[in-house]
Structure 1
């Protein structure tokens, strides 16, 4: 298993498709990753360089941010959180430029800030949490210079309309300009309504409200977070110096606001990482710097290679897996993904494919519910199966259904292994409370991998 080549297409077909303006998905994927790397390398470092006022500390802070595993793993992904990180940093830069410009209205800066604000909100609904308190610095400026406020609001309304029209046209291709006014699709509003419903968040996992402060920040910052906490207990008890700037205000206030929501993933705090690292008090300690290097090397290897590392390779190989699973041509197939990140659908290629693949993301639902979903679509014994399951090989719930297990004969469904990718860890599947530390690590690490199974009826 796992030895399928990247594509069964002849080279002539690949070149012909490229000439038609449809490059292969893996080429687009690596181009996007390279583009995100360049954006992060240029825009993030530039923003930190402007936000740190001390010339003596600027280079050190840029190196500290660049050496963080968050920068060279998460920030090179096409996550909405990665784009949010750049927008938050440049939002703070523009706020500072507007506030420092005492003589002019700064029409261009206000227009650019309005663009970033609209793009940030339509990209992620959490974006305002990072700028709401730093943005209060603009109030005296807007009072003294009403034209500055007018420019910000005018461009904000214009960019908001463009964003709403773009979303409406995307989801309703036949929509006219007039219908956009009558029945618009407002993405941030829909996002907010979805995330304020606890039953929706429960599908993704619920966490205690202290998760961001007690676990997620430590996972992202490591020894830097320890240095921050240690500085809070220095005598005399005063506000540490590193907290007396707009970068810390933005990061900490946003973390508190996001802690209100019960679903809390570390990636939600990505914009806070460069902001906090640009003011962390650890530069004078060689021991902390050594621990910092070890921490980021280990976490970069874990999060950049293994954690959910099989999702993209499996999706890229999915068409080959489906086509090679049966001697009969399958006009359509249904692939269920369970206990993984949501698979990128565009990696399956365009619509002009011989087999239509429907992807069903089951997220983290229970195993019993997952099997009920499969029961509804798996065909009878007389028909070839067109149903596939992608799941971590560490999921022991699937063991009784495997064809090699004796118990599978008494179950209505059977799983036939087709393909697996070894460099995959499902860290979300750890349950130290019920299984214990060593059994959990043995299962998750020892049985690491992402597997693809053909789901068929158990016929006697």
Structure 2
């Protein structure tokens, strides 16, 4: 693979960061959502893993994955105040692309690690790098804020560091003391090599504990612990204080995952799911190659080129697959850290592979790139962008009928900084409530709303897969008020329309967001038409729960609908 081909694929990887596909809520809620709240000071939603009493996630990986992009957005906001006299207001796509571009930048470390490992063992890295660069995983999962993507990067760097360790045999004499000398020399070599690792592990652990103590507000407890140590307090008191002061997020996560009732909330799966379904889903034809190569190695067959690298990474991938298969809760992304090891372990076959394999490989990855990069839950981000664009930057606001207010939209979709927001008045703020039904949880931080909301604010209600009755309750609460006699369809399409709130001096609107594949009864369809107006549609949007309906009606069911209550 020449430089031009790789650079072209690298450019495509950067471009893929703009794709609207939404793979899993954890791509936001285990990284960017948390960092956006603590660094960029955006309104955000914290999940169960970050509960202060028993957090299951350390803040360090969160900041490694999303700290830089959120720090950049915070600096951009401060620069806007300094240069323009007002904060920088990013669009939804600005926030999304900044955080994804950082993830893409980290993914190139995996490429570099694979290249260096193969070169270290005198293996031509061109074909394996082509395999890695054309995998849909590099364009989707590795370009998202998954903790599994960070694990992949760190495991690759560890592999790179390991291959740099000098493993040359120690020369010893042929005397009877040679075995002893060899043992002593090798032990000394082992100690020299392993000591920095131990020191690094201890320092890294202490750094993570300190960062978690600061983030989860345990500094007071740490001070108390230090005071008890100085005073020579009893062991029981010290243990109690230690438990209150130190955050052991990995231990809390282990405790959580060892309880079957907790795992049942996320789904219990058969032990063969990773081997037979998830691994082939991620690696396609390469999964069969890996299984074949592994079996051949176990039976003593296969080429010897790069044997050390192949055996090491084959063992890493196999051990990871077996270990993760023993866990009752299994998701495909859990296998993502196996990516570099699988590529290195199969390099012998890939180097000799013919056109048939490459056609299958490219077709498989192109299909999965469209599915996960574009179609899967692909309407959520565009809908959030519509909500932000139709709320900020109001202009020419005026009363159009009793109880209704309409404003022209001052923003246009895009990644460029929007124009300054022009609120109605401080005495009559506007409020937008968006009710999401049968979609992935919408990440609030993408709206870039300050934690201390101003006169224009949002509320995202996540109904997920709750009953349709709960969704229809929002429609029924609106009442049959119909201003269509006063407001034409043009007002609803090209203006933002608010209704005076009955309990407060403010203007608000309620948006209902749901997949077009949702099946309503005839009465529910009639109620939707009578009490709401379709204001926006995002396509494509594929909900796998309704894949049958989507395949039957691809042009009408593969979209996300936004309706505003009258």
Tell me whether the two structures share a fold, i.e. TM-score over 0.5: yes
Deviations 1:112-141 (A, max 9, x none): xxxxxxxxxxxxxxxxxxxxxxxxxxxx98
SS in 1 for 2:536: strand
Query: Residue 141 and residue 160 in structure 1: after superposition, are their counterparts in 2 closer, same or farther (change >3 A)?
Result: farther
Structure 2 residue aligned with 1:422: 539
Deviations 1:233-274 (A, max 9, x none): 779955656895221221221122112223322222111123
Query: Residue 375 and residue 238 in structure 1: after superposition, are their counterparts in 2 closer, same or farther (change >3 A)?
Result: farther
Question: Normalized against structure 2, the TM-score is what?
Answer: 0.58
Matches within 5 A, 1:164-203: 164-172=209-217, 178=223, 182-203=244-265
Alpha-carbon separation, structure 1, partners of 2:442 and 2:123: 44
Q: Cα RMSD (Å) of the superposition?
A: 4.2
SS in 1 for 2:378: coil
Structure 1 residue aligned with 2:97: 30
Structure 2 residue aligned with 1:224: 286
Structure 1 residue aligned with 2:488: none
Query: Residue 157 and residue 335 in structure 1: after superposition, are their counterparts in 2 closer, same or farther (change >3 A)?
Result: farther
Residue 404 of structure 2 corresponds to residue 404 of structure 1: no
Query: Residue 357 and residue 195 in structure 1: after superposition, are their counterparts in 2 closer, same or farther (change >3 A)?
Result: farther
Shift of 1:311: 2.5
Range with greater deviation from structure 2 (28-37 or 414-423) = 414-423
Question: Normalized against structure 1, the TM-score is what?
Answer: 0.70
Question: Where do 5+ consecutive residues of structure 2 fail to align?
Answer: 1-78, 171-184, 226-241, 395-403, 407-427, 480-501
Matches within 5 A, 1:236-315: 237-238=299-300, 244-280=310-346, 281-282=349-350, 283-315=352-384
Structure 2 residue aligned with 1:316: 385
Deviations 1:150-208 (A, max 9, x none): 44333323322322332332343985752695433333233333333444444444332
**Does structure 1 conserve the Cα–Cα contact (< 8 Å) formed by 2:218 and 2:246?**
no
Matches within 5 A, 1:122-133: none
Alpha-carbon separation, structure 2, partners of 1:199 and 1:18: 54
Alpha-carbon separation, structure 1, partners of 2:196 and 2:391: 55
Shift of 1:315: 2.5
Alpha-carbon separation, structure 1, partners of 2:329 and 2:555: 25
Query: Residue 158 and residue 333 in structure 1: after superposition, are their counterparts in 2 closer, same or farther (change >3 A)?
Result: farther
Query: Residue 202 and residue 333 in structure 1: after superposition, are their counterparts in 2 closer, same or farther (change >3 A)?
Result: farther
Deviations 1:314-366 (A, max 9, x none): 22333345689x74966655544444344333212122443443445455x4x
Higher relative contact order (CA 8 A, sep 6+): 2
Structure 1 residue aligned with 2:515: 392
**Does structure 2 conserve the Cα–Cα contact (< 8 Å) formed by 1:333 and 1:358?**
yes
Query: Residue 305 and residue 231 in structure 1: after superposition, are their counterparts in 2 closer, same or farther (change >3 A)?
Result: same
Question: Where do 5+ consecutive residues of structure 1 fail to align?
Answer: 1-13, 104-139, 432-437
Residues paired across the two proteins, number:
391
Deviations 1:39-98 (A, max 9, x none): 323x11110012225534312111111111111222122222222211111112223323
Alpha-carbon separation, structure 2, partners of 1:406 and 1:373: 12
Matches within 5 A, 1:322-361: 327=405, 334-349=433-448, 350-351=450-451, 352-361=453-462
Q: 2:560 aligns with which of 419, 432, 450?
A: 450
Structure 2 residue aligned with 1:113: none
**Does structure 2 conserve the Cα–Cα contact (< 8 Å) formed by 1:402 and 1:408?**
no
Residue 113 of structure 2 corresponds to residue 47 of structure 1: yes
Range with greater deviation from structure 2 (243-252 or 170-179) = 170-179
